[in-house]
Chain A
Amino acid sequence: MKRLSLITLMLISAMFYKVNAQETTTTEKLTEVNDKINGLTERLATAESDLSKLTKIKVSGYIQAQYQYFENPSIQPNNYFSLRRARVKFTYEMTDGVKFVLTPEFVPGNLSVKDAYVVINDRWTKAFSIWAGKFNRPNYEVEYSSSSRELAERSTVIRTLYPGERAIGAKLEYNPVNVPFHFQLALLNGADGIMIYNASGTNLNTTENKDFDNYKDIMVRATYNLQLGNFGGLDFGAHGYFGSLKSNAQKTLSSDYSTIEDVQFGDAVKRNWVGGEFQLFADILGGLSVKGEYIAGKNASIGYSPVAAVGTTAAIPGVANFRNNFAGYYLYFIKNLGKKNQFAFRYDYYDPNTDITGKDVTIAKYTSADATTLKNRVSGKSDLAISTFGFALHHYFDDNLRISLNYDIVQNEKVGSAGLLTEDYTKADGTKVLKGLDYSNVISQNLLTLRIQAKF
């Protein structure tokens, strides 16, 4: 019995020891796991901190590849594949109040900077922001992203007035928090994308990162968004451009070719215009919109006369500065067709010289004896109005991929007489001029574009 008790005691002791040992092991294990979790938490916090810096950088972009067929016989080759746009946009939001944007474009054979600007938001009222760098000029069609646009290209008047869309300068924006009013005031170099030729046809305005002259241009745009209840909404506004280019000639020709003004090299040749815009959005049959803008004013091109030109030659745009009264507008109709498709129609009209009608223009040799007036002698096809009927159908495979079929029917204003353009001729100075297109008829300039857009 004593032996049995002893064995039992020994067994109990052994079990107690084992349990104790197990408890010790479990505690150690728990401590180990706890340490590991603490270590992982610390590493996670570091990783999160690093990651939060990366989330401040946003990368987006798109590629537009296209096939185009030109009906204009003077364009050769008349059909080809090309890369219209290939852009990557980097946005870095350092804090809530400061944003940097850089958008390089990688079209084959040309690497360029489309956007490069910083935006500083006011942290108190949250209504004001200052932009500095290279950014879109304040205008509806210019600021409307190319990746969202319903027709393949912007309308003619916008492409003419704002070549390349962007300009270098500074801008103040006012977007009050609870009022749907938006105001932009920009001070720009103003010569961005404008060609200014010398006598040998070389573009003088090649310093993309500097101004061509000391004159700064002012742009202003104000818009208001009106809610129309269940119907939709109406956005409307106006914009204006007030600027100058430095004269590189000693004559400035008036828009109607009636007067030639003497100017000095370096004088300001003014360019001013204003425009009104509207965008109507209607929640009808899946959504449609009608958008339009009308712009009119006086534009200018810079001549190259190295000396005070005299006689007829002085009055040729290009040799002399030229200030043309112009007008242009566009009107869109856009209709969604289900969730995946969209139809768009646009009529756009641009008259580069409202003082000259087609019948005034004799596209002929400048020194022709049959051109009886100054107007006849120097007006040309650049004075003719252009109207374009554009049709487009888009299919959205998803948010990233869109395929578009676009067809533009382009019609030119007809000239009163084709002059000698329909046959080769020799100028008075002996220069041979080959016959050109017959602008007494509509020149076939229609264009088919099939485009695929990938966006990320």
Chain B
Amino acid sequence: MKSLNIKKFAIIAILLGMVGFAFAPATDRITVKGSDTLVILAQKWAEVYMKSNPNTAIQVTGGGSGVGIAALINGSTDIANASRKMKPSEKDKLKARYNTLGVEVACAKDGITVYLHPSNKVKELSVKQLGEIFKGNIKNWKEVGGADAAIKLYGRENSSGTYVFFQEHVVKGDYAPSCQTLPGTAAVVNAVKKDPNAIGYGGAAYAEGIEICKVKKDENSPAYIASTETIKNNQYPITRYLFMYLKNKPTGALKSYIDWILSPEGQKLVVEAGYFPIR
């Protein structure tokens, strides 16, 4: 093979490849993956949006914030739902693969709710007490004014954004080894429903059939439950934004869908699903 031919071959192949691949057709199929906290709301959004936009197909799955962001990086989803911010290491992967920093869209607010069994005498806890409980330093309900019974801890798996957010803002350390991890907020709620000595945490939208624990910022503060008012007034101490992450600035059908989610119509569904609007 002559060197000239190799050079021509390489340059032509690279240029042809550029031209050929630069015009990949856009599609109206949108995939959404990630946060289990957001999955109910995301499904509701998709369902309502598809009714008025029949040409757009939206597929929604959960799996956890980490799973959604990993799917965004490996190209298997268009939107990654996350109940936490993207980590620097995840941003680096996105940079390496797509040469962008990603686009962060805050789409709702959530108050992380602490679930108790309705029979539990304890009705309110401070953030510090919650941290000590989930670290395993407080082991018995009587230490926080409850019955003489061992505390049973239920939480999320480490791929969950809720797990990470609760760890960073409440636990501030390692979870107790006795904290049983469950695959989804619904599973945490179910476990707490069945166990009088249980405590768990998760999104506000799932809190049905259990007692919602009021949370105090510190010992001297009043205790609140998560509500539109307490979250808007920054009174409820464990609030967070829920995010959608995209690889690039959205265009076409994806942009229309995001714009609709942020519109009053989309934000109305946020409230209906048990979350809180961003404005």
Please report A residues at the B interface, Cβ cutoff 8 Å. Answer: 69, 71, 79, 95-96, 123, 144-145, 148, 175, 180, 227, 230, 232-233, 279, 281-283, 286-289, 334-341, 343, 391-393, 395-396, 398-399, 405, 407, 409, 444, 446, 448
Contact = CB atoms under 8 A, between A and B. Distances in A.
Contacts of B103: 230, 283
- Most interface-central of A145, A287, A343, A446 (chain B CB within 10 A): A287
Nearest to A290: B99
Contacts of B101: 227, 232-233, 281, 283
A289 B3 contact: no
Given A398-B75, A407-B11, A448-B10, A343 B18 contact: yes
Contacts of B24: 337-341
Q: Which 8 residue pairs spanning A and B have beta carbons closest together?
A: A399-B74, A338-B24, A407-B10, A341-B21, A289-B99, A337-B21, A148-B96, A287-B100
A336 B24 CA distance: 11
Chain A contact residues: over half helix, strand or loop, or mixed? strand
B76 A335 contact: no
A287 B247 contact: yes
26 contacts: A95-B174, A148-B96, A148-B97, A175-B88, A227-B101, A230-B249, A232-B100, A232-B101, A282-B100, A287-B98, A287-B100, A334-B99, A335-B99, A336-B98, A336-B99, A337-B17, A337-B24, A338-B21, A392-B14, A393-B17, A398-B74, A399-B74, A407-B14, A446-B3, A448-B6, A448-B10
Contact of B17 (A69, A287, A343, A448): A343
Contacts of A339: 24, 75
Contact of A391 (B11, B22, B88): B11
A392 B10 CA distance: 9
Interface of B: 1, 3, 6-7, 9-11, 13-14, 17-18, 21-22, 24, 73-76, 88, 95-101, 103, 173-174, 247-249
A396 B17 CA distance: 13
Given A79-B1, A232-B100, A340-B24, 12 more contacts: A71-B3, A281-B95, A281-B99, A283-B101, A283-B248, A287-B98, A287-B247, A287-B248, A289-B99, A343-B17, A343-B18, A393-B18
- Most interface-central of B6, B95, B103 (chain A CB within 10 A): B95
- Most interface-central of B98, B99, B101, B173 (chain A CB within 10 A): B99
B18 A281 contact: no
Contacts of B14: 343, 391-393, 405, 407
Contacts of A279: 95
A288 B22 CA distance: 13
A393 to B, nearest CB: 4
Chain B contact residues: over half helix, strand or loop, or mixed? helix
B173 A123 contact: yes
Given A281-B101, A393-B17, A399 B1 contact: no
Contacts of B173: 123
Contacts of A145: 96
B158 to A, nearest CB: 8
A372 B14 CA distance: 48
A161 to B, nearest CB: 22
A36 B7 CA distance: 71
A91 B95 CA distance: 23
B120 to A, nearest CB: 22
A336 B73 CA distance: 13
A259 to B, nearest CB: 42
A405 B96 contact: no
A345 to B, nearest CB: 9
B203 to A, nearest CB: 24
A196 to B, nearest CB: 35
A233 B99 CA distance: 10
A95 B22 CA distance: 45
A230 B98 CA distance: 15
Contacts of B95: 279, 281, 289
Contacts of B174: 95-96
Contacts of B6: 69, 71, 446, 448
B17 A144 contact: no
Given A391-B14, A392-B14, A396-B75, A446 B99 contact: no
B75 A399 contact: yes
A96 B3 CA distance: 54
Contacts of B18: 337, 343, 393
A43 to B, nearest CB: 15
A281 B97 CA distance: 11
A41 B14 CA distance: 58
A26 B135 CA distance: 42
Contacts of A336: 98-99
Nearest to A182: B88
Contacts of A338: 21-22, 24
A408 B227 CA distance: 61
Contacts of B100: 232, 281-283, 287
A71 B17 CA distance: 23
Contact of B3 (A227, A230, A288, A444): A444
A391 B21 contact: no
Contacts of B247: 287
Contacts of A144: 96
Nearest to B73: A399
Contacts of A393: 13-14, 17-18
A276 to B, nearest CB: 19
B111 to A, nearest CB: 22
A337 B11 contact: no
A395 B7 CA distance: 20
Nearest to B24: A338
Contacts of A409: 7
A407 B13 CA distance: 10
Contacts of A341: 17, 21, 24
B202 to A, nearest CB: 20
B230 to A, nearest CB: 25
B31 to A, nearest CB: 12
- Most interface-central of B18, B88, B98 (chain A CB within 10 A): B98
Nearest to A69: B6
Contacts of A343: 14, 17-18
